[in-house]
Chain A
Amino acid sequence: NAGVTQTPKFRVLKTGQSMTLLCAQDMNHEYMYWYRQDPGMGLRLIHYSVGEGTTAKGEVPDGYNVSRLKKQNFLLGLESAAPSQTSVYFCASRPPGLGLNSNQPQHFGDGTRLSIL
């Protein structure tokens, strides 16, 4: 199993360009997440999904859109890239769990380093 795979690994964009980051997981996980990581700020949640066809806003959703058309894929889109979106983006997934163990560890991808000039 590959786990969580993110593509691309690196990308440089110009301000105003658009792009889509792809996250794919082969663990049959229900829940998927997109985070951005900036120095000194930890991991901040952008959007998340609790199942195919569902998405929800996280802590910092502005300027991003997401789609979960297939259970195994979670796409993060930047409509009009801005320098403030320069960051490392991590995707994560986890199973739902049951009862008292309904919270389960998240599994992370290797990240996408995005620079916007």
Chain B
Amino acid sequence: GENVEQHPSTLSVQEGDSAVIKCTYSDSASNYFPWYKQELGKRPQLIIDIRSNVGEKKDQRIAVTLNKTAKHFSLHITETQPEDSAVYFCAASNRGTYKYIFGTGTRLKVLA
């Protein structure tokens, strides 16, 4: 079945450094890739998404890149801040289904 692998499971960075989280998907028909941030005890919230007709998308300090050939996409956070500490989930979906397949999450710790 469809699968999304996410790495690393934990990531610690110094404040101000960059963080990169990578996901690989198995369903070649996937065409939509959202990223969610989940703070402790809170709901997952969308932070950025990308569609398969775009290779890169940026929103201030956050960017996502997509490589359809390799079937992987990455989240890049620059100039990290303590409030970026959270669990980040990637997901993949294709237009033919209604389901989203989530990665297992990355716990990001930004050290002050």
Contact = CB atoms under 8 A, between A and B. Distances in A.
A64 to B, nearest CB: 16
B43 A109 contact: yes
A49 to B, nearest CB: 9
A104 B77 CA distance: 23
A77 B102 CA distance: 23
Interface stretch (A18-26, A40-48, A79-87): A40-48
A42 B102 contact: yes
B43 A110 contact: yes
A68 B70 CA distance: 39
A33 B43 CA distance: 14
Contacts of B105: 40, 42
A15 interface: no
A74 interface: no
Interface in B52-95: 53, 89, 93-95
Interface residues of B, number: 26
Nearest to B92: A103
A106 B43 contact: no
A23 to B, nearest CB: 12
Contact of B99 (A42, A58, A90): A58
Interface residues of A, number: 25
Nearest to A106: B100
A33 to B, nearest CB: 8
Contacts of A45: 99-100
A12 interface: no
Interface in B8-42: 9, 31-32, 34, 36, 42
Given A44-B102, A48-B99, A102-B95, 13 more contacts: A35-B102, A40-B9, A42-B89, A42-B104, A43-B44, A50-B98, A56-B98, A58-B99, A90-B43, A90-B44, A100-B95, A108-B44, A111-B43
16 contacts: A31-B98, A40-B9, A40-B104, A42-B103, A43-B44, A43-B102, A45-B99, A50-B98, A58-B99, A90-B43, A103-B94, A105-B34, A105-B49, A106-B46, A108-B43, A110-B43
